């Protein structure tokens, strides 16, 4: 039972001080979660803290590899539009 931070992390430090288990640490090229320390905040908080402050959609995954902040859930930008922009660039889409 542990979350994972992936390469889309922007190294903003927001999650690091919130972790009740000090499981999150600065690393290169991005922050990491120490698997053996992560409890997904169960017993400490209603919501997982790193997931609740992370500004980047898809940067934190659950143990099944599913994004905990789904595309569009934080910025409000429709996921279809985001996917199109990622594929074709802004100029082609807008």
Partner 1 sequence: MELPVLNASQDSAPQGGCASHSCGSTDDQMDHLPESIRQKIYNHPCYSEQAHHYFARMHVAVAPACNIQCNYCNRKYDCANESRPGVVSEVMSPEQAVKKVMAVAATIPQMTVLGIAGPGDPLANPERTFQTFRELSEKAPDIKLCVSTNGLTLPDCVDELAKHNIDHVTITINCVDPDVGAKIYPWIFWKNQRLRGREAAEILIAQQQKGLEMLTARGILVKVNSVMIPGVNDEHLAEVSRVVKAKGAFLHNVMPLIAEAEHGTYYGVMGQRGPTHEELQKLQDACAGDMNMMRHCRQCRADAVGLLGEDRGQEFTMDKIEAMEIDYEAAMVKRAEVHAQIERELAIKEQAKTAKAELIAIQGLKSDKSATRPVLMAVATKGGGVINEHFGHASEFLIYEASPEGVRFIGHRKTTPYCEGGDTCGDGESALDQTLRILKGCEVVLCSKVGYEPWQPLEAAGIAPNGEHAMEPIEEAVAAVYEEMRSAGKLVEATETAQKAA
Whichever of 47 and 63 has its CB closer to partner 1, that residue is 47
Which residue from 35, 47, 63, 80 is in contact with partner 1, where contact means CB under 8 A? 47
Is residue 26 within 8 A of residue 41, CB to CB? The reply is: no
Is residue 7 within 8 A of residue 29, CB to CB? The reply is: yes
Which residue from 2, 4, 6, 14 is in contact with partner 1, where contact means CB under 8 A? 14
* Contact call for residue 39 and partner 1 (CB under 8 A): no
Alpha carbon distance 86, 35 (integer Å): 30
Which residue from 2, 6, 32, 56 is in contact with partner 1, where contact means CB under 8 A? 56
Residue 8 phi/psi, 5-degree rounding, is -75, -5
Alpha carbon distance 35, 63 (integer Å): 10
* Residues in contact with partner 1 by the rule CB under 8 A: 10-14, 17-18, 45-47, 49, 52-53, 55-56, 74-77, 81-82, 85, 90-91, 93-94
């Amino acid at each position: 039972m542990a979350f994972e931070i992936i390469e889309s992390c922007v190294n903003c430090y927001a999650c690091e001080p919130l972790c009740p288990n000090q499981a999150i640490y600065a690393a290169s090229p991005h922050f990491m979660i120490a698997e053996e320390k992560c409890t997904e905040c169960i017993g400490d908080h209603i919501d997982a803290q790193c997931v609740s402050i992370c500004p980047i959609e898809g940067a934190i995954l659950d143990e099944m590899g599913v994004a905990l902040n789904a595309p569009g859930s934080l910025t409000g930008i429709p996921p279809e539009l985001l996917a199109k922009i990622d594929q074709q660039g802004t100029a082609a889409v807008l």
